[in-house]
Structure 1
Amino acid sequence: MNNLFSALITKRIVATVSALLVIAIGCVAGVWQLNRAETKIALAANLLARQQMPILNANAGPVSLEDARERRMNARGQFIPEAAVWLDNRPRPIPPAASAVSQSGFYLMMPFRLEGRDEMLWVNRGWAPRNTENREALPPVKTPASVVNIEGIVFPHPGKVYELGDSTPAVDTGKPRIEQNFNLGIEAKIHSWSQSPFILREVEAGIDDGLLREWAPLTNGVDRHYAYAFQWFALAFSGFLFWLISGLRQYWRRGVVNGDQG
């Protein structure tokens, strides 16, 4: 037993340390992926619970982000299309089943003047595909000119993408605003108006306006995290097996050479 221990470990320090490193990395990364999956599942359960609470009314009075976050909300008012912001590099929330390639497009952020209140509510109206040949050729979208009722779910922001630097948008009334990210504080300073401290992500209501509102569930990607976790644990197990088998083969070869086979 001592000879076996020596052959596997003390005479193979570099191989042992390398194997331990691979095993540690694989196990840590696998556990991290499992935690990511469990976090998404918990967030989705919390979102579902909050959506089952009574529907809020944006026109009834001021509502804080803490009270409204991830809850359903109704609003009545009028869209302000000339102040719209197109958020670039946004993948289609739920790609078509026949397509394995993510399609890039825009989120259309548009202010909504609340009826009976001197307040704006920013609305994520939905997703539209981008023109691959001309970035500034925006997709055709219909915007009602009259007062309408909308329904959605409250979020603190429409989601963020990686952006180099902290750019402040320059408002040019002659061109549509195409931005990477959306900041409620910056919009309030640009327009000097009172606005709700959250955005409303509009839900699908059978409106044919050129926008898609098939939002991906928060559990989207959970299966991928489980698959990644399996791969990391498999890597750790493979590292252990490689270390063990190579050590045993070396031990047996040394036994044959030294005449210990009996």
Structure 2
Amino acid sequence: MLTLGRWRFTPGLVPTLAAVAMVALTLSLSRWQFNRADEKTARQALLEAREREPVLSLAASGASAEALVYRHVRAEGTYKPEGQVFIDNRQHAGRAGFHVMTPLMLDGGGAVLVNRGWIARTNAYPQPPAAPVPEGRITVAGLASIPPPRVLELSKETIAGSVWQNLSMARYRELMRIDALPVVLLAEPPSPGLVAVHDKPDLGIAKHQEYALTWLALATTVVGLWLALNLKRQPQ
């Protein structure tokens, strides 16, 4: 108990522990949202900086994702249809569909996974729609990007044939036995019948900041309530 003039502060153990836990949780969530906003801001700055760099010709190399991401690139080779996968639950204009990922076997060896575009689900879902693979030697241009964001996996069956819930480059290399570069090439223009996929790092920055401030305000409210409920005026 703490006495301050005519006021007595008598916090109980259980309410205090509950308040501490709640404040710790809300501050942690606030910090996470601020960090997400900072990450997207940094990625957007990198994208804008690398837009001014010359187009890079991709080749089989040990280049890191950091060296390639957000570079405008060009790749030449032949598509390998049997390595094509469909990344499910991808949205476009309010509709659910797939990102069509096809490995391009580079002329100099190795491969790069090309996001040939988005395609809507059909009545045959969960079977993927037809997405014919161009034949012969081809040149693909576009932006080197990181794999698409993960979505919530509601089932342990995250791979069903050529339909995948999320794309992991390490898992793709292991299952497909294809030595793909650590980035995805966002084809521009997309393959016929598909919709171009764009990487927008700055998407949602304001929302992350808004959520962070909301969690911070909630933490402040919890502290205020804890003080108000445990500070009592002593009778004269």
**TM-score, shorter chain, exceeding 0.5:** yes
| Equivalences for residues 50-129 of structure 1 within 5 A | 50-58=50-58, 61-66=59-64, 67-89=67-89, 91-92=90-91, 95-96=92-93, 99=94, 103-115=95-107, 117-129=108-120
| 2:204 pairs with 1:225 | no
| 2:29 pairs with 1:43 | no
Larger strand percent = 2
Shift of 1:87: 2.1
| 2:188 pairs with 1:204 | yes
Shift of 1:242: 2.1
Larger helix percent = 1
| 2:196 pairs with 1:213 | yes
Question: Residue in 2 aligned with 1:179?
Answer: 164
Identity of paired residues, percent? 26
Unaligned runs of 5+ in 1: 171-175
Q: Which has the larger radius of gyration?
A: 1
Shift of 1:40: 1.8
User: Could you say what the CA RMSD is over the residues aligned between the two structures, in angstroms?
Assistant: 3.4
| Equivalences for residues 3-42 of structure 1 within 5 A | 3-4=5-6, 7-8=8-9, 10=10, 12-42=12-42
* Offset from partner CA, 1:33-64 (integer Å, 9 cap, x none): 21221122112212332343222112xx4333
Shift of 1:239: 1.6
Normalising by structure 1, we get a TM-score of 0.70
Q: Distance in 1 between matches of 2:164 and 2:215?
A: 37
Shift of 1:155: 4.0
Cα 1:224–1:56 change in 2 (3 A) is: same
Whether the 8 Å CA contact 1:77–1:148 is kept in 2: the answer is: yes
Question: Residue in 1 aligned with 2:143?
Answer: 153
Structure 1 residue identity aligned to 2:117: G
Structure 2 residue identity aligned to 1:84: Q
Normalising by structure 2, we get a TM-score of 0.76
Structure 2 residue identity aligned to 1:35: N
Unaligned runs of 5+ in 2: none
Question: Residue in 2 aligned with 1:2?
Answer: 4
Shift of 1:16: 4.1
Shift of 1:107: 1.6
Shift of 1:200: 3.3
Q: Distance in 2 between matches of 1:133 and 1:192?
A: 29
Aligned pair count? 231
Cα 1:234–1:110 change in 2 (3 A) is: same
